[in-house]
Amino acid sequence: MKESIQERKRMFAEQKRREEEESMCRYMEEESASSFAAQAMRERIEMRKRELSNQKKCQEDEQMMRYLAEENEALEATNKIKKQIEARKKELMTKKMSVGEKKGGSEKKPTGKFSPKTTGSKKSNIVKHNVHDSGMVAVVPNLSPSLIKENIIQGMNDIKIFNQFYNIAKEAKNEPKVQSECWLLWHQRHESEWKEFEEIHFCTEGTILKKWNKDRQMILQQRAALQMKEIEKENRRSVFIEEKHVIMERVVLNKELPLLNFEESNVYQYYLNQRSDNRN
């Protein structure tokens, strides 16, 4: 009886040991399988990373190639425009030289500096300045040498603006009054010099506008009135700060001309329209 009990215990113990060994083997197999799976997963992740990196590099290379192609096209277009401009300059210079030869006169080349010259006619009462960019002659009031030196030549630093205004007068060959008005429009951009121009000399009819400061006060009052109307319209209370770009400059040249918007394009268009209407 005791032997059978002992035998049964050994059998249970043996069975338990086999079950533990089998369980351990299954565990080791599962661990090994999971390790292999994890290794495979890591390899797949690394491979995907390399693919994405290569794809991104290819995209960057394509973008760089497109950028270089666009830059090359822009450079070629710029060079083409430069060549066209140079060709046009040569054509205009040739045409100007041919016209000078036909007239039988010798023209002086622009030196890039202003050389005041008097016309020699006491009636015109004007001073001429050579303009470098276009080679044209600007008509300015005949003031004293000190004022010419301090105000005119110094104020002509903004030569591009002056040349833009003078392009109007360039076409008005026999209309010196238009030339003088163009000069006046340009010079009024410099408010600090208005006090020096109490007398403005026009080139025709001997017209002299005296006491220019009085007209300037009228213009400043008109400007302030326009500003106050804008403030009342918007129902805002703010401190009035007068700046040149806040209110558009308006000026009355004479009784024949209305208030002009001081934007350059409108001034140009106005003069062109006036001259075309007068000729028609």
User: Splitting the chain (280 residues) into consecutive groups of 10 residues, what average pLDDT does each group show?
Assistant: 77 86 83 80 86 87 85 83 84 76 52 41 39 38 41 45 50 51 54 44 37 57 75 54 40 40 47 55
CA 178 – CA 162 distance, rounded (Å): 14
CA 152 to chain centre: 28
CA 103 – CA 117 distance, rounded (Å): 22
- Strands 208-209 and 250-251 come out as unpaired
pLDDT at 82: 83
Contact 198, 225 (CB under 8 A): no
CA 264 – CA 185 distance, rounded (Å): 10
Name the residue type at position 182: C
Cβ neighbours of residue 202 under 8 Å, at least 6 residues apart? 177, 180, 181, 208, 209
pLDDT at 16: 86
pLDDT at 182: 53
Q: How many residues does the chain have?
A: 280
Helix axes 159-171, 176-187, angle to 10 degrees: 160
pTM above 0.95, yes or no: no
